[in-house]
Chain A
């Protein structure tokens, strides 16, 4: 059952199209992430859902209720949408205590005193803030401030929670911890999450589905597993996880890595779709490459770095380079040695996409 629905949503700032006819449906209780580099339109999309930006075209629904539609000249202001929202820079009010920050959305809804008390306490308990209720948020750490922002968003028990890079102001250790807390709160309260981030590991860990966006255009919407395993295009491949791209050109009817005298081995025969392209890319994940095989792809080790659990190799093939990551227990070649490589799952892409 779809809960939040965006239909042909488009946003233009002057001549720039920030979001280009976006269609998506978020189900009830789902955690949906929007992922992309900065300027890709993910934050603008979230702000349109929240009601801070109006739409240039398209419609947004929550359930059956229309909340934004420039065509019908209808726009429900943010304060009437009953969403919870957490911002990147916390946005907790420094002149109010932690308790008053959390009670604020309840007070503006003019609930009874006992109801305010009960709901505020509940939200504070869920976020482990009961002991800090009387403190000023200025005295809390970054994680503490973000908990206040979460508790404030929870207080009205919203159906939809909008999270705008909520963890990017925290240090890495805390980030991981808060991820699980957000997940726990979702299980407990049952809200849907629309989550904006540029951090792919965060999106993978939290989400039921991920949307990858580039320059306002959707690249792929799928589960984290499928996005990683079957990227829709070269951009998604490069944006999610570590990636190698080796440029290949036809010479006669044989494919050569750029600057290399040796053609690609037979087990790396390009699919027919590559026949038309003058140059194209051979893509692979550094962790999905094995050493060995005299008749494989051959290159020279130019760098070998010990990173702890894994060893990171840089292999020069013609003018191109490939990274290979192996466990520290796997024996490997030394710097300067020539080695053979076999790619477990090669991907082929034409052009830049």
Chain B
């Protein structure tokens, strides 16, 4: 009896495992393998010399160096700012700490390329509002700050990426057992010594892990560099891949260069993720408290007001100002006119929402693509996570390895990979259709879904399923009636983690779009490139409204269900 049941479950398990592997192989592994294959395999032979030659070319070499410079600068800047603000809102008596904390997390929502657009409007050397204001009123002969520079790119990236460190360090500082610091205090150490010798070393793993995340993100980041760098010839790896593929319309040489650059990116990303795992496992201190009193709060005394002003100024300058500029420019009749009531109207917004086919298509494409990708990825993610977290079947190790892949493959690499895989090579040609973007979105967002669903599944203890089985439920009934209801919050989280970012996606879509398959991100970017600044800004404004509304709704509902 038991033998028979076991056999049938074994079969079901194998089917699920096979399906899971198939999804990851088709969506992620094949495109990545094709990139490696194209990079290293020339004329039927393995050829590493040619790869090195491509890397040695001035353009590619410069792009590699630029990626490193920008990533290093962004990482250092974000880590300092993120750690400082995290300490300020968790460990001091700064006024309105909770509000400040939520404001510092706002950049998570905002697409950085829209921010870059805003900063371009504010600080481009000749036309930027701030530069023009200073040149007109203070008689400066040149711009105050040129945003088309390494420093400009790094500053904008820092503004949008520092929350990665901020949220990690906040979490560590809030969860930390306060008696770790109290015991240092009773040992005779003052607050400064405690911060230096106890607190900072204990949260160092969180700081480093956030920093590496930023590095990973910045290395593979397309939007900011595309908006601010191309003007002055500053390319990083993703923008150079885009430029090569875009200009040469898929010639062999440009694909080769692209695949070699993509390989470098994947290897770097894999290295960073490996390093992060190493740091987290080695330095993952058990510093979480059981029962606890409030953590020590440093009285800022005379610095309280100045630091408060600093925070408000930072939020105003980096979050409010760019957002306001986007909406104002979106209301202008023509770019370059001063912001007066006669020049401002809602005409652009009406135009892009109701009359302009390009933008209407783009909004429709982004919403449908986002919904489809979110639904498919959510269900695939539940299935794969279930196998990885819960099932004990042979061949799981291979699936675990495949499951790691989506985390280390940057967007531009995925885009290049799906071009290689779905342009007729295997009998299916999706190039220039909306489907190729969908496939790429699924690959790109699989990591989000896997993370959210695994986390939810790990909360469901095996004994819950065993109890259902003991009550007479079959495996499928246990899955349907016990597991699924319990992981539903994780699935919902995965859905929104995918749907909302896909509304503003640029990196992948920009490589794959055809004239009728623009997404919102692509439309904003291309309109801006074509000099349609006001229309582009208006669309960016609409995108911001969509994203912020969506995110607020999600926060409201998830917040309510938790409370």
B186 touches which of A78, A92, A93, A138 (Cβ 8 Å): A78
A159 to B293, CA, bound (A): 26
Task: Verify A79–B289 contact, CB threshold 8 A.
Answer: no
Known: A79-B189, A104-B189. A85 touches B285 (CB 8 A): no
Which of B179, B202, B285: most chain A Cβ within 10 A? B179
A85 to B186, CA, bound (A): 7
Task: Verify B179–A79 contact, CB threshold 8 A.
Answer: no
Known: A87-B182, A89-B177, A91-B182. A108 touches B187 (CB 8 A): yes
Known: A88-B290, A89-B177, A93-B180. A78 touches B185 (CB 8 A): yes
A104 to B190, CA, bound (A): 12
A77 to B201, CA, bound (A): 24
Task: Verify B188–A108 contact, CB threshold 8 A.
Answer: yes
Task: Verify B190–A79 contact, CB threshold 8 A.
Answer: yes
Query: Taking the complex as formed, is A3 at the interface, i.e. its CB lies under 8 A from any CB of chain B?
Result: no
Residue of A nearest to B181 (CB): A91
Query: Taking the complex as formed, is A81 at the interface, i.e. its CB lies under 8 A from any CB of chain B?
Result: yes
* Contact residues in B for A91 (Cβ distance below 8 Å): 177, 179-180, 182-183
* Contact residues in B for A104 (Cβ distance below 8 Å): 184, 187, 189, 197
Known: A94-B202, A95-B202, A95-B285. A87 touches B188 (CB 8 A): no
* Contact residues in B for A42 (Cβ distance below 8 Å): none
Query: Taking the complex as formed, is B286 at the interface, i.e. its CB lies under 8 A from any CB of chain A?
Result: yes
Query: Taking the complex as formed, is B334 at the interface, i.e. its CB lies under 8 A from any CB of chain A?
Result: no
A52 touches which of B184, B187, B204, B293 (Cβ 8 Å): B293
**Nearest chain B CB to A120's CB is how many angstroms away?**
13
Query: Taking the complex as formed, is B429 at the interface, i.e. its CB lies under 8 A from any CB of chain A?
Result: no
A79 to B189, CA, bound (A): 6
Task: Verify A105–B202 contact, CB threshold 8 A.
Answer: no
Query: Taking the complex as formed, is B287 at the interface, i.e. its CB lies under 8 A from any CB of chain A?
Result: yes
Interface residues in A36-78 by Cβ distance below 8 A to B read 47, 50-52, 77-78
Query: Taking the complex as formed, is B198 at the interface, i.e. its CB lies under 8 A from any CB of chain A?
Result: yes
Task: Verify B186–A50 contact, CB threshold 8 A.
Answer: yes
Query: Taking the complex as formed, is A133 at the interface, i.e. its CB lies under 8 A from any CB of chain B?
Result: no
Task: Verify A79–B188 contact, CB threshold 8 A.
Answer: yes
Which of A78, A88, A105, A149: most chain B Cβ within 10 A? A78
* Contact residues in B for A77 (Cβ distance below 8 Å): 185
Query: Taking the complex as formed, is A19 at the interface, i.e. its CB lies under 8 A from any CB of chain B?
Result: no
Residue of A nearest to B190 (CB): A79
**Nearest chain B CB to A34's CB is how many angstroms away?**
17
Residue of A nearest to B201 (CB): A95
Query: Taking the complex as formed, is B193 at the interface, i.e. its CB lies under 8 A from any CB of chain A?
Result: yes
Known: A85-B183, A91-B179. A105 touches B188 (CB 8 A): yes
* Contact residues in B for A94 (Cβ distance below 8 Å): 202, 285-287
Which of under 10, 10 to 19, 20 to 34, or 35 or more describes the interface residues of A? 20 to 34
Task: Verify B187–A89 contact, CB threshold 8 A.
Answer: no
**Nearest chain B CB to A211's CB is how many angstroms away?**
21
A94 to B285, CA, bound (A): 6
A105 touches which of B187, B286, B293 (Cβ 8 Å): B187
Task: Verify B289–A89 contact, CB threshold 8 A.
Answer: yes
Query: Taking the complex as formed, is A82 at the interface, i.e. its CB lies under 8 A from any CB of chain B?
Result: yes
Interface residues in B157-210 by Cβ distance below 8 A to A read 177, 179-180, 182-190, 193, 197-198, 201-202, 204
Residue of A nearest to B189 (CB): A108
Task: Verify A84–B186 contact, CB threshold 8 A.
Answer: yes
**Nearest chain B CB to A44's CB is how many angstroms away?**
9
A109 to B180, CA, bound (A): 18
Task: Verify B183–A152 contact, CB threshold 8 A.
Answer: yes
* Contact residues in A for B182 (Cβ distance below 8 Å): 50, 52, 78, 85, 87, 91
**Nearest chain B CB to A243's CB is how many angstroms away?**
28
Residue of B nearest to A85 (CB): B186
A91 to B288, CA, bound (A): 10
Task: Verify B293–A149 contact, CB threshold 8 A.
Answer: no
Which of A81, A92, A93, A109: most chain B Cβ within 10 A? A93
Query: Taking the complex as formed, is A156 at the interface, i.e. its CB lies under 8 A from any CB of chain B?
Result: yes
Known: A95-B201, A138-B286. A109 touches B188 (CB 8 A): yes
Task: Verify A138–B187 contact, CB threshold 8 A.
Answer: no
Task: Verify B187–A79 contact, CB threshold 8 A.
Answer: yes
Task: Verify B188–A89 contact, CB threshold 8 A.
Answer: no
Which of B182, B289, B290: most chain A Cβ within 10 A? B182
Query: Taking the complex as formed, is A239 at the interface, i.e. its CB lies under 8 A from any CB of chain B?
Result: no
* Contact residues in A for B286 (Cβ distance below 8 Å): 94, 138
Residue of A nearest to B285 (CB): A94
* Contact residues in B for A85 (Cβ distance below 8 Å): 182-183, 186
Task: Verify A156–B183 contact, CB threshold 8 A.
Answer: no
Residue of B nearest to A52 (CB): B182
Interface residues of B (CB under 8 A from A): 177, 179-180, 182-190, 193, 197-198, 201-202, 204, 283, 285-287, 289-291, 293
Can you report 18 residue pairs joining A to B where beta carbons are below 8 Å apart? A77-B185, A78-B186, A79-B185, A79-B188, A87-B182, A88-B290, A89-B289, A89-B291, A91-B179, A93-B202, A95-B285, A104-B187, A104-B189, A105-B187, A108-B190, A108-B193, A162-B186, A169-B290
Interface residues of A (CB under 8 A from B): 47, 50-52, 77-85, 87-89, 91-95, 104-105, 108-109, 138, 149, 152, 156, 162, 169
> 6 closest A-B pairs (Cβ-Cβ)?
A105-B187, A91-B179, A94-B285, A87-B179, A91-B183, A85-B186
